[in-house]
Each structure stands twice: as structure tokens, then as C-alpha cells.
Structure 1
Amino acid sequence: MNKELIKSNLLFKWITILSAYIFFLFFHILFFPFKINNRKIVVCNFYGNGYGDNPKYIVEELLKMKKSLDIVWLVSNKREYKFPKGIRTVKIFSIRSIYEFMTAKIWIDNCRKYFFYNLFKKKDTVYIQTWHGGIGLKRAEQEVENHLSKSYICSAKHDSKMIDYFLSGSKWLSDDIKVNFWYDGKIEETGLPRNDKLINESKVLKEKVYNFYKLNNDMKIVLYAPTFRQGNTKADFMDFAKLKSALNEKFNKEWIIFLRLHPNIKELKVDLPEYVINASFYEDAQELLCAADILITDYSSIMFDMMLLDKPVFVYANDLKKYTSNRGLKFDLKKLPFSYAENDFKLIKNIEQFDEKNFKKDLERFKEKLVLHENGTASVKVAFKILKIMNTNSKNI
């Protein structure tokens, strides 16, 4: 690509952003005089991609309390997602969504808000950021600033200025937020709402998944959940046949493999053998963790969610050098309580040599270093905080 074309593309990009900024600014100003509805909550999950993650569990707790709330969930496509009664959906990036934002008492999100879309919030509106990563292996935000676009950095800094409360599930995460998220506001160490069911309802959710996929109760599940790579347009996997054989032999059980692609590439068409189920479209990854007996992942933070269940995790990092050269990792893989492999052969060896007793000891030591705040009550704590903010009409609670 020549320099003239690159300049032309960049110019077009910034003209588009500026046009969006002016467009949304007009409607922010138009709706600014409208009064805030103290019972309204506007929720967004992964830029409108469905009903899930931390926001889902906060909202479900609020719905249980039956407090006559106006809960608005922003979606990219209304037809794709099912929502419980008590939630109304509005299309994200629509004029209507700006009206909802400007008249809401509470905002809940697990991703950054684009600076050209959420230009500002009223002083009486409270923004709760739940984030989507939790304890993370990959370097992110300010740590990889040189690899981020200027538009994202601008959005991230603008977003952090608007946040009133940032949720955390550990001292480690709280420290990471303070250092790497351009944020110096309040951090609520409630635990992460999405992890409550891992702690409280693991057996029930396992049964739910087994019933959904019509699995025999004697069957064991290994969940393979690779993360997303920038520019990735195909899915590369390990040798599933060898993996299944190794698991069957090691644990003397019959295993089935669940493949969970990252949301950014879940639409990819993949040819899989009959003993591999594509679970990429199952709506809740936490429920899959409850059902799985083993997790295999590469650099995804899902490994630290599985950690709360005390179940084995195997790291399969077959592009480690390339991945770390572009982004880098927060933890040395050798110091994690999970074995890691850079190829199929080593992965199979790690499975064959797995020692549960040693794994549990290493896991407990690692948890102690993180100083976890996960006790299964995060959703309730956040829900009560929201109701208190609404009832007292104050941010400082």
C-alpha cells in the first residue's frame, strides 16, 4: 500500500469520526434539557453484542428485587438476542440511544464508550464500569499504548474521566486499574458479578449445559477457548484426535471437546469432527466453565475465571513468540499454576503428567498472591449500591 493511499484512508477515517462527533453532539445538546429519570438504567455489553457478562448478572439481581426500574439494554441487532421480561432493548448508536443515555440515572458497561458517541454525561448520572477482562494475562490499555490507535486512546481516556465506579475482583486487578487504565476514581472491590454463579450455582449450571447439549452424565467436557488475535480471519486448532485420546487414557473417562471461539470470530465456519461441539454461540461462557472439567486456552482471561472453580487449566500457546512480541504478557507463563505448551506434543505431555495434588497447591499459593475478593455476592452488592444511589440521589455512597 503506497503512502498516498494510507494518507487518504487516514483522512477518510478522521473525517468519518469528526462527522459522527458533530452528529451525536447535536443530539446530546438537544436532549440535555430533558430531566433524568431516577429509575432508569442504560446497559451495554460488548458494544451491543448480546445479553451477558458482568452487566447481565447485575441486571438479573435487580430484576429479582422487583423495584419497578426502567432497564434499557443497547443492542446491535434486536432479533439476535433474547432478554428476560423487564428489559427493553434499544439499538446502539441510534438517536434513541442518545436520548436514553441523557435521561438515565445509571450507566453500566463492560467496554469503553466511544468518545464521538458518548460525548458527555450529566453530573447526576452515575457510570459503573464492570470491565470484561478481570485478571488478565495479556497486556492491555496503557501498557500497550504504542500499539493502540489514537482514536482508541482518545476514547479510553475520555471514558475513564466519566466513570464513577470501577468494579474489581482482586487487589491485583485494583492495582492494574490504577496503573494502566488512565483512571484515578473509585474502585469497588465487590468481586465480579459474572463470577457469582461460578461460586454459588456451579452444579446447577453444569446440569443445564448437559441438558442443552443432550450429553450423557458420564461424559467429561474439555473446553477449548482461544482468544482473539488482531487481523485473524481463520481458526487454527490443535490435533483434536490426539487431545481426546490423551484425555481418555489419562483420566479413564470418555471425553467430548467444546470449542468456544472469541466473539469477534465466532461466525467463522469451521469443520469439526463429531466429538467436537462448536459452543461459540452458547450465550454464557460462565455456564460452560461450570460444565467443563478441564479448560484449554492460550492467553484469555477465562483461565482466571476457571481458577475459581479449582479445575485444571492447560495453556496452549503455539504462537507465543509472535504474540508476545506484539503485545506482551502480564505474567510469566512459568510462574502460573497452569502448565503451558507451545506445540501439540508438549500439550499432550502436560496432560499425561498432570498431578492434581500439586496443581491444587500451586493454585492456592497463586490465589493468595492475587488477594481475591470473590465470594459470590458481587451482583447483590452492586445491585444494592445502585438502588441506594437512586433512592438517595447521591453519587457518594
Structure 2
Amino acid sequence: MNKELVKSNSFFKWITILNAYIFFGFFHILFFPFTINNRKIVVCNFYGNGYGDNPKYIVEELLKMKKSLDIVWLVSGKGEYKFPKGIRTVKIFSIRSIYEFMTAKIWIDNCRKYFFYNLFKKKDTVYIQTWHGGIGIKRSEKEAEAHLANSYVWSAKHDSKMIDYFLSGSKWLSDYIKINFCYNGKIEENGLPRNDKLINESKLLKEKVFDFYKLNSNVKIVLYAPTFRKGNTKAEFMDFSILKSALNKKFNKEWIIFLRLHPNIKELKVDLPEYVINTSFYEDAQELLCAADILMTDYSGIMFDMILLDKPVFIYANDIREYKRDRNFKFDFKDLPFSYAENDLELIENIEKFNEEIFLKDLKKLKEKLVFYENGTASIKVAAKILEIMSLK
């Protein structure tokens, strides 16, 4: 790329960021004198990308407790999302959203907050970070700092200084947070709220998904959930017909494929055969895990949620060399109990050779190494902590 063009793009980027600081900074100062509403909670999921993940399950538990809370959920305006009664929505990055932040007792988020958007946090406001990754396979945050934009690194460090409580579902994750998130605060080691229903309501959620897609109860599902790649403008997959044929032959059942794109690229248009269902807009990935019999992914941390259900995971990583140069990995694939393939033929061979007894034995060893805190009560405990902070328990 032309060096002058790079310099030009960088210049305009920083001008845009500076303008954002000035714009949002003005309204932060304007709203700073306003009194905090002790019953107000502002929630965000994937920068306004709908109702889901850990924040969803915390809020649903709070709604059950009927404490007359003012729950504000930030939305991007893209897509149509259904929210339960008791939640009001506000557009993210709007002037109104700054007012809600500056007058809330509790912030809940599963992603970083942009620096210019949250310049100030009042000392009486409590920020709970649930994160969206859990145990992940891709390097992130400080570990991947050389591959991240300077603006993100700067913003992330500011965000960590604001966090009061970080949620963790395993000893491995707690240690990772301490090392790579520039965070020295409290870690709540009670599991991740989104995993509660995997443990408590797996069968019920499977029936819910089958009803939603009007599926025959005898059909088997492989959930294919590839992760996000920088610069994604199109979706490319393996040969679905070969995958379906191999599964049908190995397990002597009729299989369909659920495709789940990363939230960052779910708007991409994809042309799929009739036996592949695009579930990218289904509101809850955890429910899809309950419905699926097998998970197939590349570098997504969703594999570590699936193992709570003791279900098979197949890794299909046809661009691993390129991805390794970009981010690299926290785990060596050889140390994981998941079969690994770099092309269609290797994937089919792994399916043919799959042995459930060996898989479960290796899976048990991995769980012992990670030390999970998941016991199905994370949502209840976080909700109770919030009410305690609000003095409403």
C-alpha cells in the first residue's frame, strides 16, 4: 500500500477520534452533576448487538426478583431484537446513552468500552465486566497487543481501570485475566451466567430450538461456528455436502448443519443448500449448543462452552498458518481432545475415526487442567451481588 495513503488514513482516523473525544466529553461534563439513580442498570452486549450472552442471563435473574429496577439496554439500531418486559432500550453512542451511563448505579458489559464514550465513571458507579470469550484459544488483549490497534490498547487499559468486578468460569480464566487484562480488581469465581442453562436446562432448550426451526425430533445437528477474521467481506466454508455425507455414514443418522457466523459478520449474505440453516440471527448461541450433537469450529472459544455438555468438538482450521501469524494461540492444538483438520479430507477422516470413549477420557483430563467453577448458579450469584451493591437485597 502507498505509504502516503497509509499516513493519510492514520491522520484522518486520529482526527475522527479527537472529534469523538470532544463531542462525548462535552456531554459527560454536562451530565456529570446529575444524581445517580440507585436502581438503574445500564447493560451492553457486543457494542449494542442485541439481547444475549452473559448480560442477558444476569438481567433475566434480576427480573425474576421483581425489585422495580430501571434496566437500560443499549442497542445499535441494526436488526430487530425482542426484549422482555422490564427492559427499556436506548441507542448506543447517542447523547441519551451518555446520560444513562452518568446516572446509573451499575454498568454491565461483555466487551471493552470505548475510551471516548466513557471518559468518566463516578466513584459510586459499579462496573461489572462479564467478558464474551470465557476460555479462548486465540491470544487476546495484552498477549496480542502487537497485533491490535493503538487506539484499542489505549482504550482497553482505561476500561480495565474502571472495572470493579470481573466474572470468571474457571481457574484458567482467572489467571488469564490477571495476566492479560491489566486488571488487579475483584474476580467473581462463580461461573459464567450464560453457561447456567447448559447445566440446568439443556434438554428444555434443545426442544425450544427444535420447535423454533420446526425440526423432526430424530434429526441430528452439527453446529458450525467459525470465528471472526480481520477484513472479512465474504463467507467461505468447507464443502457442506461432503460433511453431511460423512456424518450420515459414520453415525447412521440423518444430519443437518447449523451455520453460526460471528456477530461481527452475521450480516454477510450466504447462499446455502437446503440442509444448512443459517442460525446467525438466533438470539442465543448457548441454546444452539444444547440442540447440537456436534460442534465444529476453528478458533472460537465456543468449544470450551460445548465441553460442559460432554459433546464432540471437531476443529476445521484451513487457514491456520495465516491466522497464527495474525494472533497465534493460547493452546497447542495437540494438547486439546478435539480432532483437528486443515482441509476437507482430513476433516472427513477425523469423523470416520472418531471414538467417543477416547474423546470423553481426554476431555476429563482437560477439564481437570482448566478447573471449572461452573455449577449452574452464576446468574443467581451475580444478581444477588448487584442487589447487595444497591442495598436492595
TM range (shorter): over 0.9
Report the secondary structure of 1:71's partner residue. Answer: strand
CA contact (8 A) 1:78 1:91 kept: no
| Match of residue 274 from structure 2 | 274
Q: Distance in 1 between matches of 2:366 and 2:264?
A: 30
Instruction: Tell me the distance in 2 between the aligned counterparts of 1:233 and 1:350.
Output: 30
2:82 partner letter: K
Kindly provide the amino acid, as one letter, of the partner of residue 54 in structure 1: N
- Please give the alpha-carbon distance, in whole angstroms, between the structure 2 residues aligned to 1:377 and 1:197: 9
Q: Which residue of 1 aligns with 2:26?
A: 26
CA offsets per residue over residues 214-266 of structure 1, 9 Å max, x none?
Answer: 10000000000000100111111111111111111111111011111111111
* Aligned counterparts of 1:79 and 1:289: Cα–Cα separation in 2: 23
CA distance in 2 between counterparts of 1:392 and 1:235 reads 48
For residue 72 of structure 2, what is the aligned residue in structure 1?
72
Q: Name the SS for the 2:24 alignment partner.
A: helix
In the other structure, the counterpart of 1:348 is 348
2:295 maps to: 295
Q: For 2:30, give the aligned amino acid.
A: L
Mapped partners of 1:79, 1:338: distance in 2: 34
Pairing of 1:119-134 with structure 2 (within 5 A): 119-134=119-134
The aligned residue for residue 166 of structure 1 is 166
Counterpart for residue 239 of structure 1 = 239
Tell whether 2:187 aligns with 1:187. yes
Give the alignment of 1:1-397 within 5 angstroms.
1-77=1-77, 80-391=80-391
Shift of 1:136: 0.3
| Distance (Å, rounded) in 2 between the aligned partners of 1:83 and 1:297 | 29
Residues 229 and 6 of structure 1: CA distance in aligned 2, closer, same or farther (over 3 Å): same
> Could you tell me how far apart the structure 2 residues matched to 1:318 and 1:135 are?
22
**TM-score, with normalisation over the residues of structure 1?**
0.98
- Name which of structure 1's ranges 257-266 and 46-55 shifts more when overlaid on structure 2: 257-266
Secondary structure (helix, strand or coil) at the match of 2:391 reads helix
- For residues 18 and 8 of structure 1, the distance between their equivalents in structure 2, rounded to whole angstroms, comes to 15
Distance in 1 separating the partners of 2:2 and 2:224 = 40
What is the one-letter code of the residue matched to 1:378? Answer: A
Q: Tell me, yes or no, if the aligned pair for 2:49 and 2:78 is still in contact at 8 Å.
A: no
CA-CA distance at 1:313 after TM superposition: 0.3
Distance (whole Å) between structure 1 residues aligned to residue 379 and residue 4 of structure 2: 52
CA distance in 1 between partners of 2:354 and 2:79 (Å): 45
Alpha-carbon distance in structure 2 between the residues aligned to 1:190 and 1:121: 26
Note the C-alpha offset of 1:78: 7.1
* Partner SS, residue 97 of structure 1: helix
Cα distance in 2, alignment partners of residues 228 and 392 from structure 1: 40
Give the aligned CA root-mean-square deviation in angstroms. Answer: 1.1
TM normalised by structure 2 equals 0.99
SS of 1:218's partner is: coil
- 1:137-194 per-residue CA deviation (whole Å, 9 max, x = no partner) reads 0000101111111100011000000000000000000000001111111111010000
3-state secondary structure, aligned to 2:273: coil
Instruction: Report if the CA contact (8 A) 2:40-2:70 is conserved.
Output: yes
Distance in 2, Cα, partners of 1:365 & 1:315: 18
In structure 1, list runs of 5 or more residues that go unmatched: none
Q: How many residues align?
A: 393
Q: Secondary structure at the match of 1:228?
A: coil
Tell me the secondary structure at the aligned position of residue 210 of structure 1. helix
Which amino acid is 2:259 matched to?
L
Q: 2:336 corresponds to which letter in structure 1?
A: L
Distance in 2 (alpha carbons) for counterparts of 1:327 and 1:234:
20
**Paired-residue identity, %:** 83
Asked whether the 8 Å contact 1:93–1:117 carries over to 2, the reply is yes
How far, CA to CA, are the matches of 2:250 and 2:264 in structure 1?
A: 34
1:131 partner SS:
coil
Distance across 2 between alignment mates of 1:319 and 1:2: 27
Provide Cα deviations, 1:303-331, integer angstroms capped at 9, x if missing partner.
00001000000000111111111110000
The CA deviation string for residues 62-111 of structure 1, in whole angstroms up to 9 with x for no partner, is 00100000000000117621110000000100111111000000000000
Alpha-carbon distance in structure 2 between the residues aligned to 1:277 and 1:319: 24
> What is the CA-CA distance between 1:5 and the residue it aligns to?
2.1
The residue identity in structure 1 corresponding to 2:74 is: L
| Cα distance in 2 for residues equivalent to 1:11 and 1:193 | 41
- 1:328-351 deviations in whole A, cap 9, x for unaligned? 000000110111111111111111
Runs of 4+ in 1 over 3 A off after TM superposition: none
